[in-house]
Copies of this chain bind each other. A is one copy, B any other.
Amino acid sequence: MPEHIAIIDLGSNTTRMVIYEYERDRYFRLLDEIREVVRLREGMGRTNVLRAAAIQRAINAMRMFKELVEDTHVDEVIAVATSAVRDAVNRDTFLARIHAETGWELRMLSGEEEGYYGALGAVNATCLRSGFVLDLGGGSVQITEVREGLPGRTISLPLGALRLTELFLSPDRISPEQTASLRAFIREQLAEVDWFKARPGDTLVAIGGAIRNLGKIDQVRKHYPLDSIHGYRFAREDIAALADELWRYSLKKRRNVRGLRADRADIMPAAAIAYDELLRHSGFDGLIISRPGLREGLFFDHFLSHLPQPLFPDLRQFSILSLARIFGYDDPHSHHVAFLAGRLFDDLQSVHGLDASYRELLWAAGILHDVGAIINYPYHHRHSYYIILNYTLYGYTPRELALIALIARFHRSKGNPKPRELAPILTREDVRALPILCGMIRLAEYLERGRRQVIRDLRCHVDVDNGWMQIEALAAGNAAIELWEAERNLEVLSRALGLEVELVEGVWVGE
C-alpha cells in the first residue's frame, strides 16, 4: 500500500507544503504542492524581529496546511522552519505561538542542517559526486561541500535575496551605488569562505526558487526545447549578464521580463547579483539547477532511512524503474527488450564504436518504450516520448533525457529517426548514435513482439569487409511472429550501420 507524507517548509519568502505518495524501494511521486508567499522576513531589516503582519500570515498558512493534512490521507508530517525564524530574536515566542495555534512543533533547522538537507535533495536528483550545492533563499545562502556523493562541510551566510534587497536596494528604481554596496557586502561575507573554490572535476549545483526563476529567464531567451528546469546548465556569463541587467529596470518593467515570476520581481536583482558574486568567488564557469532541494532532501532522508546512508544506491536505475512502475510497465517484456537491445549493442561494438554511456540510455529506453500505451495504443511510441520528456527523471542530464525519449519514440513508427526539436541539446556524436540505437531497440522490440520472451537471446556475426552481418535469434519454441516481424524491421539498423543484415533463426539451448 502506498504511504503519504507531507513536508512543510516555512521559508523566509515562501512557505510550501508538498505531499508525496511512495512505496519504499518502489517509487515515489509528488501528489500535491501548495505554495504561499508568506514573506516571513518582510520588515525584519536589521532588527531581526519577526513583524506582526508576517507572523499572522505564517500562522494562517500553517493553520491551512494543518487542516488540509487532517482532512486528507497523510500518514506523517515533517515541518521545518529556516533562516527567518533562526535569525529572529523573537523566534521562541513565534514557535510557541505556532504550536498553540496548530499543535505542530516546527523543527527549526540550523544553518548546517538547512545546508545538509538541501544538498541531500540535490545529490539525490543529480548524481553530483564532488563539488558544492548552493541554496540561495530569502534570508540566507547555504554553501555545502559534497565529496563522494555525501554532503559535508557547510556554511550559512546572511545573503538571502529578500534580506539583501531590504538592506541594500530601493524597491523600485535601483541606483549603481546601491548595487556596488551590495556587491561589496557579499564579497566581504564570502572572503572568509576560502574552501568554497572549484577543484578539477567539481560541479556546482544550485537549488531554490531564485535560481529556478533566473534559469527560466535564460531558457526563454535561448528557446530551450524542454519545459523542465531540472538539470539545466546555466553558464557564468549568462548569470553575469542578468546580474548586470535586471537592477537597471523599474519594478514594473522587471515584472514584464519574459520568464520572470511577477511575485519575485522585487528580489531578482539581488538574487542575480548574489549568484554572480558566488560564481566569481568560487571560480566555477557555470552551475546546474536542481529542482529538488530542501523539501526533497527531507523527503529522501525519510524515504531512504532504511539504508546505511540516505542516498539512492543507483539513482539513474531507480528513476527509470520508478517511472515504469507508476505506469505499470516494470514487466518482463520491457526488461527483455532492454536486454536484447543491450545484446545488439555489445555484439556490434566493433561496428558502431559507441561508448558505454549510450548502452545505459538504450537500456533505459528499453524499459520505458511502452509507457505511452496507457494514453492510446496506436501512437504509443509518441506518447512514450512525451511522458519521458515531461516526467522528471532524476539523475539524467537534459541531453540524456532527450536521447532516452528519442530512442523510445523510434522503437516504432515509420520514417528515419531524427532529433527534430531536440537537436539543439544533442552533440554530433549523439546525432550519429541515434539511428543506430533506434535500429537496435526496434529490432529488440520486434524480436519480442509476442511479449513472451520466446527469443531468449541473440548473437551477431559481422563481416564488415564484405558489408554484411547476421543476427542469430535464439528461439526457445515457435517464434514465427517474432521472426516475421523482425525480418520486416531490419532496415533502420541496416541503414544506420551501412551493412546488409540477415536474420537467422537459431535454437536456444540454455545458459
Q: Is the CB of A452 closer than 8 A to any CB of chain B?
A: yes
Q: Is A32 an interface residue (CB 8 A)?
A: yes
Most buried by B among A65, A67, A227: A67
B390/A68 in contact, CB under 8 A: no
With A and B bound together, what is the CA distance between A478 and B33 in angstroms?
Answer: 20
Q: Does A60 contact B (CB under 8 A)?
A: yes
Asked whether, in the complex, the Cβ of A387 is within 8 Å of the Cβ of B375, the reply is yes
A383 touching B390 in the complex, CB below 8 Å, given contacts A71-B454, A480-B60, A481-B67: yes
Q: What 0/1 pattern do residues 325 to 354 of A give for CB contact below 8 A with B?
A: 011000000000000000000000000000
Q: Give the Cβ gap from A432 to chain B, nearest Cβ, in Å.
A: 27
CB pair B67–A32 under 8 Å, yes or no, is no
Asked if residues A390 and B373 are in contact (CB atoms below 8 Å), the reply is no
User: Roughly how many angstroms separate A29 CA and B378 CA in the complex, as a whole number?
Assistant: 11
B374 touches A326 (CB 8 A): yes
Interface residues on A, range: 35 or more
Summarize A's interface: helix, strand, loop or mixed: mixed
Given contacts A72-B450, A390-B383, A452-B72, whether A67 and B478 have CB atoms under 8 Å apart is yes
Q: In the assembled complex, how far is the CB of residue A395 from the closest CB belonging to chain B, in whole angstroms?
A: 16
Chain B residues contacting A390 (CB-CB under 8 Å) are: 375-376, 379, 382-383
Interface positions, chain A 41-85, Cβ under 8 Å from B, are 60, 63-65, 67-68, 71-72
Q: Which residues of B contact A60 (CB under 8 A)?
A: 480, 484
**CB contact list, A209-232 vs B, under 8 A:** 227
- Of residues 362 to 420 in A, which have CB atoms within 8 Å of B's CB atoms? 373-379, 382-383, 386-387, 390-392
Bound-state CA distance A72–B449 (Å) is: 11
**CB atoms of A33 and B374 under 8 A apart:** no
Task: Provide the residues of chain B in CB contact with A383, threshold 8 Å.
Answer: 390
Evaluate contact between A481 and B376: CB separation under 8 angstroms: no
Q: Are B481 and A68 in contact (CB under 8 A)?
A: yes
> Are A327 and B31 in touch, CB under 8 angstroms?
no
Least Cβ distance of A469 to chain B in Å?
Answer: 26
A374 touches B327 (CB 8 A): yes
When the two chains form the complex, which single residue of B71, B450, B484 contacts A452, counting CB atoms closer than 8 Å?
B71
| Shortest Cβ gap from A256 to chain B (Å) | 13
Residue A356 CB within 8 A of the other chain: no
Please report the C-alpha to C-alpha distance between residue A449 and residue B387 in the assembled complex, in whole angstroms.
26
Check if A31 sits within 8 Å of B373, measured CB to CB: yes
The one of B386, B391, B449 in contact with A386, judged by C-beta atoms closer than 8 angstroms, is B386
Is A451 an interface residue when CB atoms closer than 8 A count as contact?
A: yes
Question: In the bound complex, what is the Cα–Cα distance between A392 and B452 (angstroms)?
Answer: 28
Asked if B386 and A451 make an inter-chain contact with CB atoms under 8 angstroms apart, the answer reads no
Are B377 and A480 in touch, CB under 8 angstroms? Answer: no
Q: Across the interface, do A63 and B480 meet the contact criterion of CB distance under 8 Å?
A: yes
Chain B residues, CB < 8 A from A32: 377, 451
A227-B379, A452-B72 known; A34 vs B67 contact (CB < 8 Å): no
Contacts A60-B480, A373-B31, A377-B31 given; does A68 touch B450 at CB 8 Å: yes
Q: Which 6 A-B pairs have the closest CB atoms?
A: A64-B481, A71-B452, A30-B377, A68-B450, A64-B480, A376-B391
- 17 A-B contacts (beta carbon < 8 Å): A30-B376, A30-B377, A31-B373, A60-B484, A64-B481, A64-B484, A67-B478, A68-B452, A68-B481, A72-B451, A227-B379, A375-B386, A375-B390, A375-B391, A379-B390, A382-B390, A383-B390
Residue numbers of A with Cβ under 8 A of B are 29-34, 60, 63-65, 67-68, 71-72, 227, 326-327, 373-379, 382-383, 386-387, 390-392, 449-452, 454, 478, 480-481, 484
- 5 extra A-B contacts, CB within 8 A, seeds A34-B449, A375-B390, A375-B391: A32-B451, A68-B481, A71-B454, A375-B387, A376-B390
